[in-house]
């Protein structure tokens, strides 16, 4: 499997699912609850929902640019800044949806082999806290980009569930539903 085929469909499917969860939240919650939702969090020391959405988008955008050896676009810095300052300005569900749509537009515009670099090519992934991970492109995609992306998506899911949004397994894997069939009845 190529790195593009590993990452792009995963990012697209899960961002689409996240967008669907936010639609359900908007439809199910009162106006006041929906307005407060972007600031909701699971624990006092965790980032709120708005940051989880923004950081999920960051992970997808960073991977797309890092694997192609490109500088990050201004949108990545904006998302990081918004996410880190979410307590002051958590935004709205519409803002979160807009960020997801912007990220999905970047993913949709990629060529089918856009991220297909040599899986063994080195990537030095520097963190803002002064640590660096020395990885191969495959390790970066599999172990960092996907792991971090899923962390933020799943934390958003948990915050939404905790806030009373009625979502479940079918909402988590809507991209799998076209592959489902009824098993034959046992005799």
Q: Which fold has domain 3-179?
A: 1.20.120
pLDDT tens profile 88-142? 889 999 999 999 999 999 999 999 999 999 999 999 988 888 899 999 999 999 9
With vertex at residue 142, the alpha carbon angle to CA 119 and CA 146, rounded to the nearest 5 degrees, is 135
Give pLDDT, residue 111: 95
Specify whether the CB–CB gap between 14 and 104 falls below 8 A.
no
Specify whether the CB–CB gap between 135 and 123 falls below 8 A.
yes
Specify whether the CB–CB gap between 27 and 131 falls below 8 A.
no
Q: What is the pTM of this model?
A: 0.93
Specify whether the CB–CB gap between 15 and 103 falls below 8 A.
yes
Q: What mean pLDDT value characterizes the chain?
A: 94
Which residues pair with residue 122 across a beta bridge? 136
First-to-last alpha carbon distance for the chain, in angstroms, is: 39
Q: In the chain, what are the domain boundaries?
A: 3-179
Specify whether the CB–CB gap between 96 and 48 falls below 8 A.
no
Per-residue pLDDT of the chain (187 residues; tens, 9 = 90+): 899 999 999 999 999 999 999 999 999 999 999 999 999 999 999 999 999 999 999 999 999 999 999 988 898 998 889 889 888 889 999 999 999 999 999 999 999 999 999 999 999 988 888 899 999 999 999 999 999 999 999 999 999 999 999 999 999 988 888 888 888 888 7
Q: List, as one string, the DSSP characters of 101-124.
A: HHHHHHHHTS-TTTT---TT-EEE
């Amino acid at each position: 499997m190529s790195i593009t085929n590993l990452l792009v469909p995963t990012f697209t499917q899960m961002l689409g699912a996240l967008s669907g969860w936010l639609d359900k939240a908007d439809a199910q919650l009162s106006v006041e609850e929906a307005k407060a939702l972007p600031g909701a969090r699971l624990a006092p020391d965790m980032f709120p929902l708005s940051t989880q959405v923004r950081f999920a988008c960051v992970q997808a955008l960073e991977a797309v640019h890092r694997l192609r050896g490109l500088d990050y676009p201004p949108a990545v810095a904006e998302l990081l800044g918004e996410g880190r300052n979410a307590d002051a300005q958590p935004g709205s569900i519409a803002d979160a949806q807009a960020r997801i749509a912007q990220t999905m537009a970047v993913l949709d515009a990629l060529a089918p082999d856009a991220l297909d670099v040599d899986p063994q090519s080195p990537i030095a992934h520097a963190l803002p806290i002064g640590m660096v991970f020395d990885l191969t492109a495959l390790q970066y995609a599999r172990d960092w980009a996907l792991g971090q992306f899923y962390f933020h998506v799943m934390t958003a899911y948990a915050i939404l569930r905790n806030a009373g949004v009625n979502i479940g397994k079918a909402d988590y894997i809507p991209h799998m539903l076209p592959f489902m069939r009824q098993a034959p009845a046992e005799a």
